[in-house]
A and B are shown apart, each in its own frame.
Chain A
């Protein structure tokens, strides 16, 4: 690890050049690998920002609430099951005890070329150097939202719940506080894969608001992985349904493990609106969701796995008592 200074943060904004330290489970890992090289760490764990609160507007989550705490919160489990499940099915108990929600949404890709600086080519780590994954080991990489510069998958789970439920993120920076749609936080790689979010330098995520909606209670997170626990998603689906009998009033869908950013499946949602939800309509929606998929060899299985994951998630959500 390279040398750095460590201080307790007094509050946002930090000056450009300061890197926030929350749980450290992404940051320290990538510092050891020499992928992230911050010179100044500001530890934000003393700032509070740990609220987990439900009210008529919805669910308010502080950026420093821990994954384990939110996953285990009975109210969240009951009223926003997709949020609790996306956290409970992620990482391990130890990591969930350490990791914060703010750090979680900013976790970096697990692409092996990104994580290992001995590979020369990685446009995300070293802009302009090429992409080792494109024709290399890409079983875990994305099929949606990719570009010619980068196919690295967004690895997290919780962000899909936030995207599906139209959450907002609150930020504190030099210009004061601002709120934006959570869906606008992450950006697709395009020609600049090194730019992953719309955060401004020194800006701090202070929390998330998940609006209450008629679909929130009938929601779930389905995650398919290489082993039954403690693995990143090969494909996952966050779904929330507002049903009128068997007919879909509103469907909210986000896909994980298959895309470069937390992926809202707007085409699939539109496809389901006003339809009777059954295997046939769910399958058509899933086809719409993956119509634009581009595979790269080892990850050729992902569109089919992703479609089946979404169909199963929709049919399971339909059967929920909500």
Chain B
């Protein structure tokens, strides 16, 4: 959060970071057609996002949310778009270690803060993270759409010391809705993984 963000440079860019070379799409997936627009266009902005330990250099329309940046511009489609209005939690990612909603976060505002998505979780041996394993063991999903957001919230729940009781888990996780109502199994999964996830 230091230098003023650049807002010039309309030229199209290609994704440089993270090894992947994906063409950068113009605009955002959710940009609505805009009748009677204000005088100026949405600005293209250059930024470098730190996602799952890798730097991704991007040029994005100022309107791009972190969620669209991940899904449409970095090929990280694990984070889901349920409502796009901050209501369901399917887009939950860790920003600076805290769970936030990527759909209500502007990519331009992220700066150098690290982002962790479901793709960035893994166990010590590089396999599944204990929370991912616990969701499998406990059958903590049906359709699976809410699951990446649930798991990210669940990891934060344990790390921040809020997995002391089922009630505490339910309260911390109440921003993650599950249309399939796997709630009891989700709580059981968090309880199973809790001793295996480091706090702090």
Hey, which bits of chain A sit against chain B, CB under 8 A? Answer: 1-8, 10, 21, 23-25, 28-29, 32-34, 37, 39, 41, 43, 45-46, 68, 91-95, 97-98, 229-230
Contact B7 A10 (CB under 8 A): no
- Contact flag A25-B38 (CB < 8 Å), given A4-B62, A45-B1, A94-B99: no
Pairs A–B under 8 Å by Cβ, sample size 11: A1-B28, A1-B30, A3-B62, A25-B104, A28-B86, A32-B85, A43-B106, A43-B109, A45-B109, A94-B100, A97-B98
B63 to chain A, nearest CB (A): 5
Assembly CA distance A97 to B61 (angstroms): 25
Task: With both chains docked as a complex, state the minimum distance between the C-beta of B7 and any C-beta of chain A, in angstroms.
Answer: 6
A92 engages B89 (CB within 8 Å): yes
The answer to whether B105 and A24 have CB atoms under 8 Å apart is: yes
- Do most interface residues of chain B lie in helix, strand or loop, or is the interface mixed? loop
Give the interface segment out of B69-77, B169-177, B188-196.
B169-177
Cα separation A76 to B62 with both chains bound (whole Å): 37
Q: Could you list which residues of chain B lie within 8 angstroms of chain A, going by C-beta atoms?
A: 1-5, 7, 28, 30-32, 34, 37-43, 45, 61-63, 65, 84-86, 89, 92, 95, 98-101, 104-106, 108-109, 153, 156-157, 170-176
Tell me, in angstroms, the Cα distance from A29 to B103 when the chains sit together. Answer: 9
CA distance A68 to B63 in the complex (A): 26
Complex alpha-carbon distance, A98 and B93, angstroms: 12
A28 to B5, CA, bound (A): 18
Q: Which of B2, B28, B39, B174 contacts A92 (CB 8 A)?
A: B174
Residues of B within 8 Å of A98, CB to CB, are: 100-101, 104-105
Q: Are B4 and A7 in contact (CB under 8 A)?
A: yes
- Contact indicator A1/B32 (Cβ below 8 Å): yes
Which residues of chain A have C-beta atoms less than 8 A from B63's C-beta? Answer: 1, 3-4
Residues of B within 8 A of A33 (CB): 85
Q: Are A95 and B108 in contact (CB under 8 A)?
A: no
Docked pose: A115 CA to B61 CA in angstroms: 25
Q: What is the CA–CA distance of A92 and B109 in the complex, to the nearest angstrom? A: 21
On whether the beta carbons of A10 and B4 are closer than 8 Å, the reply is yes
User: Is there contact, CB below 8 Å, between B106 and A6?
Assistant: yes
Nearest A residue (CB) for B156: A93
Supposing A3-B40, A39-B40 touch, asked if A91 and B1 sit within 8 A by C-beta, the answer is no
- A93 to B172 CA separation, bound complex (whole angstroms): 6
A95 contacts which of B101, B106, B171 (Cβ < 8 Å)? B101
Choose among B4, B106, B171 the residue that contacts A229 (Cβ–Cβ < 8 A): B171
Does A97 contact B99, Cβ atoms closer than 8 Å? yes
Contacts A3-B63, A6-B62, A39-B39 known; 6 new A-B pairs at CB < 8 A? A3-B41, A5-B40, A8-B5, A28-B86, A29-B86, A94-B153
Given A28-B65, A93-B153, decide whether A6 and B99 contact each other with a Cβ distance below 8 A. Answer: no
Give the one of A25, A68, A97, A229 with max B CB within 10 A: A97
Cβ–Cβ contact A95 & B175, under 8 A: yes
The complex places the Cα of A1 from the Cα of B170 at a distance, in Å, of 33
Cβ 8 A contact of A2, one of B38, B95, B173 = B38
A212 CB to closest chain B CB (Å) equals 29
With both beta carbons as reference points, the residue of chain B lying nearest to A38 in the complex is identified as B38
- Nearest neighbor of B38 in chain A, beta-carbon distance: A39
Q: How far is the CB of B139 from chain A (nearest CB, A)?
A: 23
CB proximity of A179 to chain B, nearest CB, Å: 27
Per the bound structure, the CA–CA distance linking A116 and B93 in Å amounts to 28
Bound form: Cα–Cα A164–B62 in Å: 40
Contact B100 A97 (CB under 8 A): yes
B187 to chain A, nearest CB (A): 13
User: Quick check: A94 and B89 within 8 Å, CB to CB?
Assistant: yes
Q: Which 10 A-B pairs have the closest CB atoms?
A: A92-B175, A3-B42, A46-B1, A229-B174, A230-B174, A6-B62, A97-B98, A39-B38, A1-B63, A6-B108
Closest to A25 in B: B104
Query: Closest B-chain residue to A8, C-beta based?
Result: B4
Complex partner residue of A46 from B2, B41, B106, B153, CB under 8 angstroms = B2
Chain B residues with CB under 8 Å of A95's CB are 86, 101, 175
- A3-B37 contact, Cβ under 8 Å, with A91-B175, A93-B99, A97-B98: yes
Residue in B closest to A28 when the chains form the complex, CB atoms: B104
